[in-house]
Structure 1
Amino acid sequence: MELVITTSGTIGAGKTTWSERIAEHFGVSVLREKVDGNPFLAKYYDDPKMYSFHLQVYFLNHRFKAIKEALKHPNTVLDRSIYEDGLIFAKLQFMNGSMDTDSYKTYQDLLGNMMQELVDLHEGQALIKKSPDLLVHLDGSFDEIQRRVKKRGRPFEQTDNNPELLQYYKDLYELYKTFVQEYTALGISPVYVLDIDKYDIENPEHVAEVMAGIEKVLIEKRGFAFPEQKGDSK
């Protein structure tokens, strides 16, 4: 039976790396957020007002495709939640003036239509669910996240001599402080919060502790941890 886990967290939190480790542990595949080949990402960092809408629609379309792929081929880890698009990124673009009211409304309408289509897909195929079994949210200090961004080394992500970009990261960080609460209120799925200051992915003992924690939440909230256990939990 199927297992779908989604990871969330701000830029630089380590979603892709942890998603790969989680997928390996549970014996499932990982669908990665598309950064390489994104035609708008570097342009956005140069000119947010010009490219914020283009970038958010690009990511939304990619996320929607990834979710549909996960629905067709379950047993997947998605390395970003579609709920972050609306609750965090597009919201911040609107709040900081990078996206105007008409663009923001159009984006929210598009997101709503896409989410409804997922509901329709779910209702049309009884064995497919539209929500993940678990959200793994990566959380940590702002300093640790910035250290990771710097270490990753993507030129367009660096804040040296770019106070506007540093402020953007700070604003994102503030919005993420309430993301888990908002996500939980929507009743989408259980949540496991992974403290990236506490757990080092290069430390096998830390990784084992995280995986045990994820298994514990899945068993408590979903009645199974590994895909092959799902049909045996009733």
Structure 2
Amino acid sequence: MKHAPFIAVEGPIGAGKTTLASMLAEELQLPVIKEIVEENPFLDKFYQNMDDWSFQLEMFFLCNRYKQLEDTVIHYIDKGKPVISDYHIYKNLIFGERTLKGTKRDKYRQIYHVLTDDLPKPDIILYIKADLDTLLRRIAKRGRSFEEAIETAYLQQLIEDYDAAMASLAIREPSTTILTIDGNLIDFVENREHFMEIASRVKELMQ
């Protein structure tokens, strides 16, 4: 890789994106960009009534992530500095396509493309793939009150949506390298060897 890479960590709710991004940032001495989650004022309402609050929720996330990515471009990418993020902006479409319907979904798609089509895409995506039981255990362990209302059917659908999205990104963004991590078998938090294998692979991809 001839330039300083932009790295993103992705996966469904509970996969461990922020944890892995933070660990890699420390190991590789990289700045880390973390998405705003708990600050979203619509989260509690959304998990209680998705139909009524999905548009407000998704627009809040989209605008905040757009601003973060804009700042990332200014402070890191345009200056040739490597950076790691615990999300890919494309996740907004993954969630928006699942939670929005009809004209609201159409409007959201249009706004998403207006904001993001000319922004840089990650050079490397670390995709943490995990099944429903693994995600539920990790969600319970971190104990976010607003996540207690997540329906298992919604989470299972997100797992399938993420698999489809990563396959789509492999075609849409051929210059991006997608490294899939089996979150069911690889415990990068408790097993140092597992983590170092991931870090070593990322170092290789950065060269």
TM-score, with normalisation over the residues of structure 2? Answer: 0.90
Choose the corresponding residue for 1:169, options 138, 151, 155: 155
For 2:48 and 2:132, the matched residues in 1 are separated by 23
Q: Which residue of 2 aligns with 1:24?
A: 26
Contact 1:136 1:191 in 2 (8 A): yes
Q: How does 1:4-153 map to 2 (within 5 A)?
A: 4-74=6-76, 75-86=82-93, 88-93=94-99, 99-118=100-119, 130-153=120-143
- In the TM superposition, what is the alpha-carbon distance from 1:49 to its structure 2 partner? 1.0
Where do 5+ consecutive residues of structure 2 fail to align? Answer: 77-81
For 2:196 and 2:161, the matched residues in 1 are separated by 30
In structure 2, do the counterparts of structure 1 residues 135 and 36 end up closer, same or farther at CA, with 3 Å as the change threshold?
same
Could you give the per-residue CA deviations for residues 199-234 of structure 1, whole angstroms, max 9, x where no partner exists? Answer: 212221111111112223x15xxxx1xxxxxxxxxx
**Partner letter of residue 106 of structure 2?**
K
2:185 is aligned with 1:198: yes
Runs of 4+ off more than 2 Å? none
For 1:103 and 1:113, the matched residues in 2 are separated by 15
* SS class of match (1:81): coil
For 2:72 and 2:190, the matched residues in 1 are separated by 28
Return the index of the structure with the highest Cα Rg: 1
For 2:12 and 2:64, the matched residues in 1 are separated by 18
Contact 1:44 1:55 in 2 (8 A): yes
Could you give the per-residue CA deviations for residues 37-96 of structure 1, whole angstroms, max 9, x where no partner exists? Answer: 21111111111111100111111111111111111122221111111211x101111xxx
Contact 1:53 1:103 in 2 (8 A): yes
**Partner letter of residue 112 of structure 1?**
H
For 1:214 and 1:137, the matched residues in 2 are separated by 12
**Partner letter of residue 72 of structure 1?**
I
For 1:100 and 1:140, the matched residues in 2 are separated by 27
**Partner letter of residue 101 of structure 2?**
D
Higher relative contact order (CA 8 A, sep 6+): 2
- In the TM superposition, what is the alpha-carbon distance from 1:117 to its structure 2 partner? 4.4
Where do 5+ consecutive residues of structure 1 fail to align? Answer: 94-98, 119-129, 225-234
Choose the corresponding residue for 1:180, options 160, 166, 172: 166
Could you give the per-residue CA deviations for residues 108-147 of structure 1, whole angstroms, max 9, x where no partner exists? Answer: 00001012342xxxxxxxxxxx121201111122211111
In structure 2, do the counterparts of structure 1 residues 193 and 101 end up closer, same or farther at CA, with 3 Å as the change threshold?
same
For 1:84 and 1:116, the matched residues in 2 are separated by 14
State how many pairs are aligned.
Answer: 198
2:144 is aligned with 1:154: yes
